[in-house]
Amino acid sequence: MPRRLSRNSSLLTNTSRRRFLQGSAAALAGVGLSNCRRTIGETETVAPADDTNAAAPASGTLQIYTWADYTDDELAAQFTEATGIDVKIDVYDSNETMLAKMQAGGGENYSLIYPSDYMVTEMIGLNMLTELDQSRLVGLDKIRDKWQSPVYDPDNTHSVPYSWGTTGLLYNSEVLTTPPTDWNYLWENSDVLSRKMTLLDDVRETMGAVLSSLGYSYNATDAAELEEAYQKLLELKPSLASFKSFGWQDELLSGDLLLSMVYSVEGIPVSLENPTFKDVIPESGSSVWTDTMVIPTSAPNVDAAYEWINFNLQPKVSQETVERLFFATPNGEAMTLLSKELLDNQNLFPPEDLLAKCEGIAPVGEANVLYDEYWTKVKSA
């Protein structure tokens, strides 16, 4: 995976998953990890899951459509070594990008995708997801209670939780000596941050943060509240460098940016690699998201998809992936294998009192029209 961190020699040399998208727009188009068979060096090879209920051994190639942060060469190689199934991975930068491609027929080759919680609900409503055969899943009982029957997919009928995290602010603590503690910091310090901050290029996350700064729900549907949030975001727009979900790291490291709104899975590796950069979850609350593994109804290799899900449900696999890629796992048994250092990282595993103030992003029904309308206006302003 490409990594462009040479401007800062203090950074660690191990590759982290969020570097996947730093290179260029071409990286977003797709990263092939096919024919990844290799020796896994010092890493213990994990055995294939004991899927005795499967109809037949899977074979061929598994094509996956996912966020760039959830796989790496090592994971793909371990899976191929254990199962004999080759892996090809394409990546997307938003749930909406993924959905549009799937709806347009461009996703017919994918047997497994990684939608977020609210998108799972939407895709179920569109009859795009396969109802899972629970008898073919090995290790679902290891998932922590809060994900056993989530509101976005009761009884995990169509999805298996893979990761979770929060959204927050990553900032340069050497320059911003008064640290941000909440969303309103952006408006209160817009002169210092002018053209040196980015917000996520994600309508629900960014509008949700603005709504939260006003004391409203991340998932507000009231037209007056959405109008107020739009006006407040429009006020901040001249001070933004850009809306950017990925690829902001180089600008932050070089000093071109002082602060970025980031997914925890993006911010944590940077803060661990260089203590100059601090990651904070706004004290009034933010989003807490879950990303999942699902099998689309158009999947050409369902057997391989079940193999991949079961492989990733293994606690040892989950533990090692978390340690390399820094996302929070819903796998309770995997958490018992994690180091104390990771478990004590409050950006990775926030305290319960802070999590209680956070909201999962939920479908907003007809209000989607307003979200999209205001988002288009803000970005074109």
Read off the pLDDT of residues 7-48 as tens digits, 9 standing for 90 and up: 222 222 233 333 333 332 233 233 333 333 222 223 333 444
Q: How far apart are CA 237 and CA 256, in angstroms?
A: 17
Q: Which of 292, 309, 328, 329 is nearest to 79 (CA)?
A: 309
Where does residue 4 fall: left (phi above 0), alpha (psi -120 to 50 degrees), or beta otherwise?
A: beta
The pTM assigned to this predicted structure is 0.78
Residue 51 and residue 56: Cα distance in Å, rounded? 10
CB neighbourhood size of 241 (10 A)? 19
Specify the residue for token string 């006020």.
235
pLDDT at res. 58 = 65
| d(C-alpha 133, C-alpha 122), whole Å | 20
Q: Which of 29, 22, 33, 361 is nearest to 205 (CA)?
A: 361
Cα-to-chain-centroid distance, residue 194: 27
Hey, what are 35's tokens? 């024919």
Reading the block at residue 342, the tokens are 């990771």
Where do the structural domains in the chain lie, given as residue ranges? 17-164+290-343, 165-288+351-380
User: Which parts of the chain sit beneath pLDDT 70?
Assistant: 1-58
CATH hierarchy code of domain 17-164+290-343 = 3.40.190.10
Instruction: Tell the burial category of 141 from Cβ atoms under 10 Å away from its Cβ (0-12, 13-18, 19+).
Output: exposed
Taking a C-beta distance cutoff of 8 angstroms, is the pair 257, 276 a contact?
no
What is the C-alpha separation between 171 and 34, in angstroms, rounded?
37
Are 289 and 65 a contacting pair, CB within 8 Å?
Answer: no
Bridge partners of 372, per DSSP, are none
* C-alpha R_g of the chain: 20
Q: How far apart are CA 319 and CA 118, in angstroms?
A: 26
pLDDT of residue 321: 94
Q: What is the CATH number of domain 165-288+351-380?
A: 3.40.190.10
Residue pLDDT, tens place only, 269-301? 999 889 999 999 999 999 999 999 999 999 999
Looking at residue 57, what is its pLDDT? 58
Q: Cα–Cα distances in Å, from 146 out to 101, 123, 149, 152, 319?
A: 31, 21, 7, 12, 19
